[in-house]
Amino acid sequence: MNMNIQQIKQRFGIIGNSIQLNRAIETAMQIAPTDLSVLIVGESGTGKEVFSQIIHQNSARKHKQYIAINCGAIPDGTIDSELFGHEKGAFTGAIDSRKGYFELADGGTIFLDEVGELPLSTQVRLLRVLEVGEYIRVGSSKIQKTNVRIIAATNVNLQVAIDAGKFREDLYYRLNRVPISIPPLRERKDDIPLLFRKFSADICEKHAIPPLKLDEAATEELKNYYWKGNVRQLKNIAEQISILEKERCVTAHTLANYLPANLQNQLPAVIAKENQHGTGTYAGERDSLFQLLFDLKKDMNELKKLVFDILNSSESELQLSNENAQMLQKIYTTDFAYFDKQKQKQNEEITEYENLPATTTPEIEDVNEIEDTLSLTNNEMDVIKRALTKYNGKRKLAAQELGISERTLYRKIKEYEL
């Protein structure tokens, strides 16, 4: 007997009249008489399993077995045994042979919830079932046949899982012969008060307590809430209020005591887009900048200590003339004053960066100049250049001025290509 959408809603307890919901129900009814595999996509708590039951109950398999399996709840080490069965002695603890779900549901329907959680090895076995209807028990070499319709569901983006190498692309296309998308509750705003009243009425009738009534402000509050947990979360809230509240008229103030504060009236989250190189979000860039400045500060302190030790040690192997000591003192005071100035500027930019709107990408000045200023190699080259310039390129006099041997100076000149 053909059923219309309203009859399906009444039979399976579906409440709501949104266009997306009606379209999903209509698609489920159209494909039910076929044997095509179906992939149901929707957020957690949207009621994906109800749609698998609609498909099974309106198919030629309705008198056969229907088995619902939560793939994420079965350990990786036992899921093959659960799905395909095993032989006696196949592994430790296998004291008897066991039939798997695909053998038990032969001629019927298997609903694989959270199919994205399947291990890759199990995905290969499942692909074989979808392609030719064959499988092998764990610990056996005998091929067995099964005639099972597979309906899968997921709350994750399988295309992303494919790109990450966590889900087989060929299996995805086998499962996704007919896709059904279940809308989240926040896209069914007009259905939310209806669902709340239904859940509240059911719990009140069960416990023989007066029913609840929503005032206008509370109704709007329910509609504008984000409902991250969708129908499951709404049912939970409705039952809590029905049992715990003595006042039977629900106001917006009453709802505020039950709706999580961090999600109340929350709009869909704005996620920072990745740049063309895929380097991540603004927060990640900010953390990297802080780490860079921290590393620079550490290098600066180490260099300051080194220069300070040179200037104050009478036993240093490097004997400095007064002029070179003054030169190092100038580096110590002038260059690091420049660095401090740059660091202050960077801190100001960071503060400005944090205060920018989330959709704005600030341009942050390159800090390579600071790194160059802090280079010991560059500073040593500069000192040697000045000494050579002072004595018109005479290495012997320059070496004496620097307090090093002429041979060492020659090696430095060759090393720095001066």
160 and 125: one domain? yes
137 and 208: one domain? no
159 and 193: one domain? no
Distance of CA 57 to the CA centre of its chain: 36
| pTM score, whole prediction | 0.62
Structural domain count of the chain: 3
DSSP codes joined into one string, 339-375: HHHHHHHHHHHHHHHHTS-TT--------HHHHHHT-
58 and 173: one domain? yes
The pLDDT score that the predictor gives to residue 148 is 97
222 and 370: one domain? no
The first and second tokens of residue 10, run together, are: 């009444």
Distance of CA 272 to the CA centre of its chain: 13
DSSP H/E element including 68: strand 66-70
The pLDDT score that the predictor gives to residue 280 is 42
In a domain, 266, yes or no: no
CA distance 125 to 114: 17
50 and 176: one domain? yes
CA distance 162 to 168: 6
Asked if residues 13 and 231 have their Cβ atoms less than 8 Å apart, the reply is: no
Q: Are strands 143-145 and 134-136 parallel, antiparallel or unpaired?
A: antiparallel
The pLDDT score that the predictor gives to residue 402 is 79
Summarised one tens digit per residue, pLDDT across range 133-184 is 999 999 999 999 999 999 999 999 999 999 999 999 999 999 999 999 999 9
In a domain, 271, yes or no: no
Q: Using CA atoms of 353, 359, 363, 367 in order, give the dihedral in degrees to the nearest 10.
A: 50
In a domain, 41, yes or no: yes
Domain of 153, in residue numbers: 5-89+96-183
Contacts of 411 (CB under 8 A, 6+ apart): none
Asked if residues 179 and 214 have their Cβ atoms less than 8 Å apart, the reply is: no
CA distance 273 to 257: 35
The one-character DSSP state at 167 is: S
Q: Mark which of 125, 150, 183 sits at the end of a domain.
A: 183
The pLDDT score that the predictor gives to residue 53 is 97
The pLDDT score that the predictor gives to residue 212 is 93
The pLDDT score that the predictor gives to residue 91 is 85
Question: Residue ranges of the chain with pLDDT lower than 50?
Answer: 1, 262-283, 315-317, 359-374
289 and 332: one domain? yes
Summarised one tens digit per residue, pLDDT across range 204-247 is 999 999 999 999 999 999 999 999 999 999 999 999 999 999 99
Give residue for tokens 């899982």. 161
